[in-house]
Amino acid sequence: MVEQVNPETPSSKRDNAILQLEIHTGLRAGDIVNLRLIDIDWENSEVRLVQGKTQGQLTLPLDVHAGAALIDYILNGRPKSNSPYMFLRSIAPYNKFKNGVFIACILRKYLKKAGLSHFKGDGRTFHGIRRTLGTEMVIQGVPVTTVSQVLGHRTSNAAR
């Protein structure tokens, strides 16, 4: 699916950054929508934010691929704007997306380009990517409590 993103246009640079960030952090779509420029700690390669769902502080490592995609978007794709938000609409007015539904539409766009259909319950969603990340972490031997923290769950029961 990510291979379908041709990051040559400003909007595709944004889409690539969003998808890379999701794949490597498992952030909720709503948290990606509300991500601010200051939420990226470039010096320590971390993403730091207050989650919308839990209101809990979350600090995650910024993967090199996601970081490179963010840099490319900020320098070469993000519209000139005084908005504090990372991801903006690609047409004026350059505001942030209203909610995670708009981010989910970006995912569906590239699923379709990859020839992957999407239907309710198939796991081809942003939440499905979160689950896959969590599952892969558990398979690799990461403690469930750590997986729970990375995914921003209040308790480790949610990660099971």
Alpha carbon separation from 28 to 33, 58, 64, 104 (Å, rounded) = 9, 12, 20, 10
DSSP letter at 142 equals: -
* pLDDT reported for residue 8: 86
Share of the chain above pLDDT 90, in %: 44
Residue 115 has pLDDT above 50, yes or no: yes
155 contacts: CB under 8 Å, gap ≥ 6: 148
Percent of the chain with pLDDT strictly greater than 70: 78
Amino acid at 78: R
Q: Which residue has the higher pLDDT, 44 or 7?
A: 44
Identify the structural domains of the chain with CATH numbers, from first to last. Answer: 2-117 (1.10.443.10)
Q: Token pair for residue 74?
A: 């900020």
- Which tokens sit at 76? 């070469």
**Residue 106: count of CB within 10 angstroms of its CB:** 23
Tell me the average pLDDT across 11-25. Answer: 92
pLDDT band at 137 (very low <50, low <70, confident <90, very high): low
What pLDDT is stored for residue 104 in this prediction? 84
- Tell me which residue has tokens 């309710």: 120
- Asked if 160 and 145 touch (Cβ cutoff 8 Å), the reply is no
Residue 160, pLDDT > 60, answer: no
Per-residue confidence band for 159, with pLDDT thresholds at 50, 70 and 90: very low
Question: What's the pLDDT score for residue 6?
Answer: 80
Whole-structure pTM value? 0.78
Q: Write the pLDDT tens digit of every residue in 77-103.
A: 999 999 999 999 999 999 999 988 888
